[in-house]
Amino acid sequence: MSDVHPTNQLNGARRSLPCDSALRKRSAKVIPGGMWGHMSAKSLPPAYPQFFRSAEGVHLTDVDGNSYIDFVCAYGPMIVGYNDPDVEEAAGRQQARMGIANGPGEVMVDLAEFLVETVPAADWAIFGKNGTDATTACVSIARAATKRRKILVANGAYHGAVPWCTPWPGGVVAEDRAHLLYYDYNDVSSLEAAVGEAGDDLAGVLVSAFRHDARIDQEMPTADFAHAARAVTDRNEAVLIIDDVRAGFRLDLGGSWEPLGVQADLSAWSKALGNGYPIAAVTGKDWLREAVQTVYVTGSFWCAAAPMAAALATLRKLHRGDAVTHMARLGEKLRSGIESQAAARGIGIRQTGPAQMPLILFDDDHTLEKAYLFSTKALQRGVYLHPWHNMFLSAAHTDADIDLTLEATDAALEAVADVFG
């Protein structure tokens, strides 16, 4: 997720965004670099706004009043629509009665019960705020349960932004990763090799729901890989951990590896769980209950009741509406439309990963100039795509949204064809 600053002039005449520009100037004075983290617009084409004013359904409006059909969904959290009436009603009602207290509300038990009922690999749940809270707790629980140290992670995978996993080297010391060993996603032999390297110190294997590393083609897990991950952890009495933070509730409401018939021992959830309300969860199998109770994880707001009410309302709505099928169908419609538009112009593109979490990359585009031009042109026609990070469909997107989006992508691909031949 490092910054990208293509020097290409073609894609980037910065639009007139006077309010956004003024806010960036103010922000640069009181925030280092004006912004930080995955929402920094420095990693996007210059036409993209940094600041937003409102959000409703699938529409975002920037501070200059430009509205977009959004396919980034706040980088995943939005799943039933911004400002969804059911979610907001549930969260607001809870907040009016009790936001935070000296302990949780009944809603925490309701939510844990719902997860245990609907997620086959979940015998229990605990909650946090960040996806990183969940992945970090999973690593600690695996180590506590096994009294071993080595955690296997895939090369290039993103599991959060604290020193053991953050993608940049700044502030990280070697010891933060002393007991990580690496394999290649979907490569069983590399996984076996890492298991061998861990020897009798293997605590766990951490897998992403699918390979969703930025800037490279996405990959669904192969059945071989998923079963091998389960087999090597079983054989070594180690812990299989799935990082379902980004993909959770978009591929399968019971967990992203359910269709593969593979259950992890621990699952990390966050992003879409509360439709934007800050919440994360770890769910796991019965045999880890004792270990969980030996690990001290907590946070000041982890029992906040409104995000739990939001999560329960979000999950119920997803289950009621057969949301996964809807997102997959619209994702396929978008994908096949773009495929046709590109093919008609002889533009080589690669659309990878699950249709409801699409990534579009252009052939021969190492500098992302084509991707920047394409996404900029779509943006200017009111469609917010991401040039190098996977995108997200939501249950709130409609056929009409996809139709409008395809009009924008058609024009954007025409611009790519004009410039790059």
Site for its own copies in 187-246 (CB under 8 A): 245
Residue type, 327: M
Question: DSSP letter string over 386-399?
Answer: -SSS-----TT--H
109 near its own copies (CB under 8 A): yes
14 near its own copies (CB under 8 A): no
Rounded to a whole number of angstroms, the minimum distance from the CB of residue 78 to its own copies is 7
Residue 407 near residue 381, CB atoms below 8 Å: yes
Encoding tokens for residue 392? 């997200």
CA separation for the pair 300, 292 (Å, rounded): 19
45 near its own copies (CB under 8 A): no
| Cβ proximity to its own copies, 76 vs 358, nearer residue | 76
- In a 10 Å sphere around its CB, with 0-12 CB exposed, 13-18 middle and 19+ buried, how is residue 87 labelled? buried
What are the distances in angstroms from CA 319 to CA 237, 256, 275? 34, 15, 14
Residue type, 313: A
| Cβ proximity to its own copies, 38 vs 320, nearer residue | 38
255 near its own copies (CB under 8 A): no
Site string for its own copies, 352-391 (x = CB under 8 A): --------------------------------x-------
Site for its own copies in 149-178 (CB under 8 A): 149, 161-164, 166-168, 170-173, 175-176, 178
| Cβ proximity to its own copies, 121 vs 260, nearer residue | 121
Sheet architecture: strand order including 239-243: 124-128, 280-284, 266-269, 239-243, 202-208, 150-154, 180-183
Q: How many CA atoms lie within 13 A of 25 on its CB side?
A: 5
30 near its own copies (CB under 8 A): yes
| DSSP assignment letter at 82 | B
Encoding tokens for residue 34? 């004006």
Rounded to a whole number of angstroms, the minimum distance from the CB of residue 30 to its own copies is 4
Judged by CB under 8 A, which of 64, 88, 184, 332 binds its own copies?
A: 88
Nearest to 45 by CA among 389, 417, 393: 389
Q: Which stretch binds its own copies (CB under 8 A): 111-119, 250-258, 367-375, 402-410?
A: 111-119
| Cβ proximity to its own copies, 171 vs 421, nearer residue | 171
Judged by CB under 8 A, which of 83, 118, 190, 222 binds its own copies?
A: 83
317 near its own copies (CB under 8 A): no
397 near its own copies (CB under 8 A): no
51 near its own copies (CB under 8 A): yes
